[in-house]
Structure 1
């Protein structure tokens, strides 16, 4: 009885923590990783920096929404599969419900005040990502070799703008780690307890592949629900490089066949920029406004589940194998290089798109710096920085 009560309490804790993050995590997937690090590494100490970097590296390797996959993996480690589902639900539902409300005609970020608030939220992303880089660089690039790997990774991501560049950069970092980071005794400290049995992981991977393989059949069954599910599942299964990359895939899958018109698609995309939580919840909006049935609430549910499902199946299936690789001495050397590459990827993302799209003048520089100092020196809770910079953006813009 006590064990069951403790499990229920832990699941409730996971849900509440991620629900708060889902309500306050503005700024896109890179900023979300900063929020997660602050919450689970710095504040709650559920993870070490190395363990968190392992999760980030794994999720960057896989297609799908990296920040949502990272949150799901943290939930799985903390409370098993139900913990992962609780983490995903808590982080996803606030944004999904807001996008559903927008689909019914609610427009929050319109007019000069709304645009100013949106600009303030972009500056929140600047401060959050800068804080993440500051903390992770000190832990994961403590020597010249790993610092050089991080710099090389940042340069590669900035100048080689392809969908698969992040995967290549992390793989390259792992190779460099094998070559240059093998000095010293392998650590026996376990960083990442996946908590996933290999049998269950294999089932998840087979399910992912089986659904993907039968997608062409969905259009032939003359079922609008299956066709809508297939369009979203395919987009979620093929996207690499973060939430924004899914947008052209969704446009091709939904605007092309006539599920959604171009103007409605762009209106939802604009609203999604102002929402907390994962950008993939744009799918809830698209499912709700689809011209043909299912649409409304049923369409939103189909879109939301289908676009997230492939990424969650992949990360659940990969977790135990990733952990086994990391435990080997060669695996540990590779992870040192891969973790350094993750820092470089964050640096590149900080410049473009976080800095380039968020900072447009001296006032923005001052506000972003104030947010960074509040987080790093004053240890202010992230949600207070969100409110402060959103208000400042409304005032100054």
Structure 2
């Protein structure tokens, strides 16, 4: 126990997170439970209160909360190298699996039964429906937030463009600021932060500069790789509410451009539920399966790095400011409005493209219903539900 309290190096952090990246099934909530067991209970890297403070910070920021918690744990343990090591260990196993699946789809499509691919799309219906159900119960507990969710759903469904989703998130934040009550989190912060605020401000400035500059540079240079990085960086910068919410943003960035067809997009999203680690590694699949270069390993790794880069910059930038931000009631109110709109955006994605592309006949509806019940009520692991849908889809096909 005393040995675990000593400062670890980046290599130690990498090995711990690599094991978690190979075994952490179940989505972001399960990941946070695995992290608590590993780093609070077993290794004593930080105490319960500090861990809760870290989780609260990462839920406040856009991006994949569980991955950001992992990056922050790595940073607190071994500095910037530890943050990178934590991300690599937790992310690469599922990213490699998703790129290999993408290569199989593009190079050996005839060897994969069409019914099995369709079963993966049906599994995506159940997974997204479960996410909408759970997020709505948590993030839309009153009439105002349900109304905001409904308005967001209608806006995005009627105008399915990436800029509309961004505008809806911004407007929802303003509405939340005006209409929703904020909570004063007056408990003192307990995270052992040594980074100076000036350094954090530099990271936040870099995050904002890339968000503004990448679209301009991509348009001026007309470079396919830069365009790919811009699309995935923007998606990673605007995701509030967890990994599932990245689905509509990535769909709007990839399918209309002709990078990926809607059928392959949903098959990859279904497959992403069956691998451990963060759901954001779906980006590696999309980069690898692209119908225009860069694709394959190059496209997959570029997309993977681009979608996670905002999370890394934001966690570095926010850590030194969190002790002050957590007290701001207005920030909590704005975030409540954003979260309600996020549920609406995901609900719109459940209709288009998830439902319309997968539910084509009564058998599909029945399979999706059974998968949904299995996830929500029978507590069957997502990887088992996805595998079962692929098998049954092959049989029904």
Q: TM-score, normalised by structure 1?
A: 0.68
Residues 63-107 of structure 1, C-alpha deviation per residue, up to 9 Å, x if partnerless?
Answer: xxx6xx55532422443323234333233222124445667x4x1
Aligned position for 1:148 = 147
Aligned position for 1:30 = none
Q: Describe the shift of the 1:51–1:139 C-alpha distance in structure 2 as closer, same or farther (beyond 3 A).
A: farther
Could you tell me how far apart the structure 1 residues matched to 2:157 and 2:90 are?
A: 32
| 2:78 is equivalent to residue 88 of structure 1 | no
Aligned position for 1:27 = none
Alignment of 1:266-281 (within 5 A): 270=264, 273-274=267-268, 276=272, 277-281=281-285
Could you tell me how far apart the structure 2 residues matched to 1:156 and 1:374 are?
A: 31
Could you tell me how far apart the structure 2 residues matched to 1:152 and 1:190 are?
A: 37
Q: Which of residues 203, 222, 232 in structure 2 aligns to 1:236?
A: 232
1:396 deviates by 0.7
> Alpha carbon RMSD of aligned pairs, Å?
4.6
Aligned position for 2:170 = 171
1:379 deviates by 0.9
Q: TM-score, normalised by structure 2?
A: 0.68
| 2:79 is equivalent to residue 79 of structure 1 | no
Alignment of 1:159-308 (within 5 A): 159-182=158-181, 186-188=184-186, 197=195, 198-205=197-204, 209=209, 230=226, 232-237=228-233, 242-247=249-254, 270=264, 273-274=267-268, 276=272, 277-284=281-288, 299=298, 303-304=302-303, 307-308=306-307
Could you tell me how far apart the structure 2 residues matched to 1:18 and 1:319 are?
A: 25
1:394 deviates by 0.5
1:283 deviates by 3.0
Ranges in structure 2 where 5+ consecutive residues have no aligned partner: 38-47, 76-82, 239-247, 273-280
Aligned position for 2:278 = none
State the secondary structure of the residue aligned to 1:354.
helix
1:11 deviates by 4.8
Could you tell me how far apart the structure 2 residues matched to 1:211 and 1:160 are?
A: 23
Residues matched between the structures, number = 350
Q: Describe the shift of the 1:332–1:12 C-alpha distance in structure 2 as closer, same or farther (beyond 3 A).
A: same
- Single out whichever of 93-102 and 43-52 deviates more from structure 2: 43-52
Aligned position for 1:36 = 27
Could you tell me how far apart the structure 1 residues matched to 2:11 and 2:67 are?
A: 17
Could you tell me how far apart the structure 1 residues matched to 2:189 and 2:168 are?
A: 22
Q: Describe the shift of the 1:272–1:189 C-alpha distance in structure 2 as closer, same or farther (beyond 3 A).
A: same
State the secondary structure of the residue aligned to 2:162.
coil
Could you tell me how far apart the structure 2 residues matched to 1:334 and 1:215 are?
A: 26
